[in-house]
Amino acid sequence: MARLEDAGIGTVLKKLTVVGAGWAGLAAAVHAVQQGWQVRLLEAAPQVGGRARRVMHQGLPLDNGQHILIGAYRETLQMMRAVGIDTDQHLWRLPLNLRRPDGRGLQLPAWPAPWNMLAAIMLAKGWGWRDKLSLGGHALRWRLNHFQAPPDMSVAMLCRDLPAAVMSLLIEPLCVSALNLPPAQASAQVFLRVMQDALAGGAGSSDMLIPRTDLSSLWPDAAVHWLAQHGADVETGCHVQSLDAWLTDPVVLACPAWEAARLTAGIEPTWSAQAHALTHTAITTVYVKANQPLDWQSPVMALHSDAHAPAQFAFDKGQLSPNPEMQGVLAMVVSASTHDRQTTTEAVLWQAKHQLGLGQASALLTVVEKRAAFACEPGVRRPSAWVRQGLVACGDYIDGPYPATLEGAVQSGLHAVTLLSHKRMGENKA
């Protein structure tokens, strides 16, 4: 339990209810305890973690979707360390790598920005000099314009003068992995914010941080353990049907957008309608078992993706995990997934055979998150964190600079508690 003298509110800790224990809700709960709140965390599912958690299958600790972080995700890394996670041990750090099995594509060296990007462009395979000069010119203009774009501009419009090779080998995989939308549908404004943080955010910002463990072990399990140690009450399997009984104390809504819209429909209908209006896109992760040794230099491989070969990335779980049973297991990720489970699985197995040379590969498990991310389209209107007095919301869909990422979720959780804490400090001064 946080010390009473640290809480700054006399001898009684003020109660706070957090509804939802995904990464946003867990971040809100941890931060609230740090700020001196007495926290009760309610989760409808049997386990915490939301859309980034462990899924056990045939004794293997898989996930309900492959996630990676980047070095620019500083708030997420800080929250991990706050609950005792050794990020160097739990995350494999390597420079951004978008090279395909044939060697084409871009890989950043471990140099300071912007020299790492310039060197990567100059050394990129599969691009001519006109391609490289064009990308260098665009990157310089983005930097000079402070990575800003009109709200109604798409990534395709932003990059309309870039050569086809650059679009195929860099912009498209970056866009679909960060925003979960193809360039024609994705917001240029949000895309440039991701590019700014990754490519101009200081040493290591563009590095890929790939989990060496399942996602529950990466942070949610440690966060729950830390909360219990500090006096918070965590309840799973608790589906909140109405907020009426909870609003005697401040509440943080950390559930998905559609659940938050349902719970606020009779309380704040305008906010509810905005959350309800958001559309969502799917992500499919196909876990593949290779019946032959993998000899990859990197644990991640970019793939050529099209309508018949939908996966954009493959992750060698055996290289990442110390568990010997994970040897030969691949996580093949289909962002902006549109086909049914069987069709997607068959197409990904075709990719594993023809792009990765795994002729005897078989499907272990296919996980489809139908509403994995809100559609970060040009001009999308995202609801604000402030719902009404004593009621705030957090989640990767809440208004902010990031698309639907773990960093966006964590930052929104911290921001929601900060809003309530500032209001509470004002009341105490009054």
**pLDDT band, very low/low/confident/very high, at 397 (cuts 50, 70, 90):** very high
Packing angle between helix 188-199 and helix 172-179, nearest 10 degrees? 100
Question: Looking at per-residue confidence, does 32 or 4 come out higher?
Answer: 32
Structure confidence at residue 221 (pLDDT): 98
Q: What percent of the chain has pLDDT over 90?
A: 74
- The number of angstroms, rounded, from the C-alpha of 168 to the middle of its chain's C-alpha atoms is 23
Residue 11 CB burial class (10 angstroms; 0-12, 13-18, ≥19): exposed
pLDDT in tens, 61-104: 999 999 989 988 999 999 999 999 999 999 999 988 888 888 88
Half-sphere exposure of 333 (CA within 13 A, CB side): 23
Packing angle between helix 74-82 and helix 23-34, nearest 10 degrees? 60
pLDDT in tens, 282-318: 999 999 999 887 888 889 999 999 989 999 999 999 9
**pLDDT band, very low/low/confident/very high, at 105 (cuts 50, 70, 90):** confident
Question: Looking at per-residue confidence, does 355 or 430 come out higher?
Answer: 355
Structure confidence at residue 197 (pLDDT): 80
pTM of structure: 0.92
Contact 201, 113 (CB under 8 A): yes
Q: Which helix (H) or strand (E) holds 93?
A: strand 91-94
Largest CA distance in the chain: 71
pLDDT tops 80 at residue 145: yes
Structure confidence at residue 48 (pLDDT): 98
Tokens of 75: 């708030």
CA distances from 395 to 68, 260, 285, 404 (A): 18, 10, 22, 9
Contact 272, 39 (CB under 8 A): no
pLDDT tops 60 at residue 4: no
Q: What percent of the chain has pLDDT over 70?
A: 94
pLDDT in tens, 213-239: 999 999 999 999 999 999 999 999 999
Structure confidence at residue 12 (pLDDT): 54
Taken in order of first residue, the domains within the chain and their CATH numbers are 4-52+72-79+215-278+378-429 (3.50.50.60), 96-206 (no CATH), 280-374 (3.90.660.10)
Beta strands in 290-328 (DSSP E): 300-302, 313-316
d(CA 240, CA 238): 6
Instruction: Collect all residues with Cβ–Cβ distance below 8 Å to 15 and sequence separation of at least 6.
Output: 37, 38, 39, 40, 249, 250
pLDDT in tens, 345-375: 999 999 999 999 998 899 999 999 999 999 9
Structure confidence at residue 425 (pLDDT): 47
